Chains A and B, each alone.
Chain A
Amino acid sequence: MTVRNRGALAALAAGVAALTVATLVACGSQPAEDVGADEAAQLATATPSAAGTEGPSVPVTTGELPAGAETVKPVRLAIPAIDVKATINAVGINKRTNEFEVPPSVDEIGWYRYGPGLEADAGSIVIAGHVDSAQQGKGAFFRLRELDQGDTLTATGSDGKAREYRVVAREEYDKTKIPLDRYFARDGKPRLTLITCGGPFDAKARKYRDNIVVTAVPA
């Protein structure tokens, strides 16, 4: 065997090694598969009104000015499986961006105050939190993507009552394709929707590509 041949062989071996490492890394960094996507979609289908064919008369209401409805705000969230104990702020919309106003402190999470509260018998209660931040490090929902079907969480309301929920789905969506209308629905079965960021990180834009969405139902 010539020197030239040995050099070629070494190059081939190094190439194979490099590609093997690259393949292993690529496989290892795949996100966990979605679970329960069908269940989550099912929850969002509006419950057909049973009153469709019954009822003796036209509904009549007194035309009083609408008063503020009593909403039970979620104030604390505990998720033992991923060591989350976080304070919940009532938040709305960022006027500049028209996006969900996630609390700036990564230790706190935000409840979408325009949607249903904990007392609601229909619709999606939405709570979003940071996965992390460049300045503050890991956020309250850093490990949200580790949640699995059957994990439990406890949301405590402004009425002091703790309510148990059970995870039924964990999904990851490209932010440009996430069906937000389904997660911000005010109809369908009562459910708790937790949202954070995930997927590949674009270091230039300082943005994650995806949203992680966990759906839970009353336990």
Chain B
Amino acid sequence: MQLSYFRRVAAGGAVAALAFAGVGAFTATPAYAATSKVSVVHGIPDTPVDVYVNGEKTLDNFKPGDVAGPLNLEEGDYDIALTKPGEPIGSAILKVDNAAVPGGANISIAAHLDAAGQPKITPFVNDVSKVDAGKARLIVRHTAAAPAVDVRAGGTPVFEDLTNPNEAKGDVDAGNVKADVVLAGTDTVAIGPADLNLKEGTATIVYAIGSAEGKTLDVVAQTITGLHSSPGGVPSGDGGQAGTGVNTWWYALTGAGVLLLLGGGVRMATARTGRK
């Protein structure tokens, strides 16, 4: 669906048409391996934007705290620009040229504040490997204008000394967990606490966004599904009453039958030769 959107907007300009010619070809072969899934996360407080990809408006009035995508993008370099809603791309408030999108990856591009409070764009590669049955993946990304933090679950630090713009992750038991974010090494709560429902077989990515100084610290969450594994097996009986197939006595009976046939045959044969 995103692709046809691209094709539609691509008709607007020759440059865009060139840029997305590859995407057009992609629609004919949906299983093309070199495309990546790309999501966009907005973590800059109070600043709705229009998002331009390779010069074409892709997201209109994209609001802080929202997550867009995933888009299927072919491997390559992309120019990304953010403008105030309705303003021309020439007056972009933030732009990244030639952002490399590798093939076959799952990527989140976060527009956020750096530790000093300046807007920036950081791409993250999402770990979409399978989780074990019964598990969920929790990924926390520090994308806020704030010092180093610890992330706690049920009051116990699980990720420590996380700094902007880095991530920490782990596979945990699926289910509910009460989480909060504290200034590293302290009990001073910066965000939360909040109840997190970590669904089995998914990755939950939580972005700390906003600014500590501006008192706009908050979280944005993105969920990736389909990472589940099957149980190792289904053991469901140890009685043996329903057993099919043959038992030991069957082999004994068959063995005896064969021996009797052989023995009888040999006797018969030797008896005949004996009479000659």
Which A residues are closer than 8 A to B by beta carbons? 2, 4-5, 7-19, 21-22, 25-26, 29-31, 51-69, 92-93, 95, 97-100, 102, 112, 114, 128-134, 136-139, 141-142, 145, 175, 180-181, 183-184, 186-187, 195-201, 203, 206-209, 211
Contacts and interface: CB of A to CB of B under 8 A. Distances in A.
The binding surface of chain A is classed by DSSP as: mixed
Contact of A29 (B223, B244, B271): B244
Contacts of A13: 264
Interface of B: 1-5, 8, 27, 30, 41-42, 58-60, 62, 65-69, 71, 132-134, 174, 176, 194-202, 204, 206-207, 219-223, 225-226, 228, 230-246, 250, 253-254, 256-268, 271
A66 B1 contact: no
A58 to B, nearest CB: 5
A4 B101 CA distance: 90
A5 B238 contact: no
A180 B69 CA distance: 31
Contact of A12 (B134, B260, B271): B260
A22 B202 CA distance: 53
Contact of B236 (A2, A10, A97, A196): A196
A180 to B, nearest CB: 4
A63 B65 contact: yes
Given A25-B250, A186-B226, A131 B236 contact: yes
A62 B66 contact: yes
The 5 A-B pairs at the shortest CB distance, nearest first, are namely A55-B1, A201-B243, A18-B257, A15-B260, A11-B264
Nearest to B272: A5
A19 B271 contact: no
A26 B254 CA distance: 10
Q: Max chain A CB contacts within 10 Å: which of B27, B237, B263? A: B237
B134 A114 contact: yes
B133 A142 contact: no
Given A99-B232, A114-B200, A14 B242 contact: no
Contacts of B60: 57
Contact of B2 (A26, A55, A128): A55
A195 B231 CA distance: 13
A180 B265 CA distance: 51
A93 B234 CA distance: 10
A53 B26 CA distance: 12
Contacts of A10: 264
A25 B58 CA distance: 71
A82 to B, nearest CB: 12
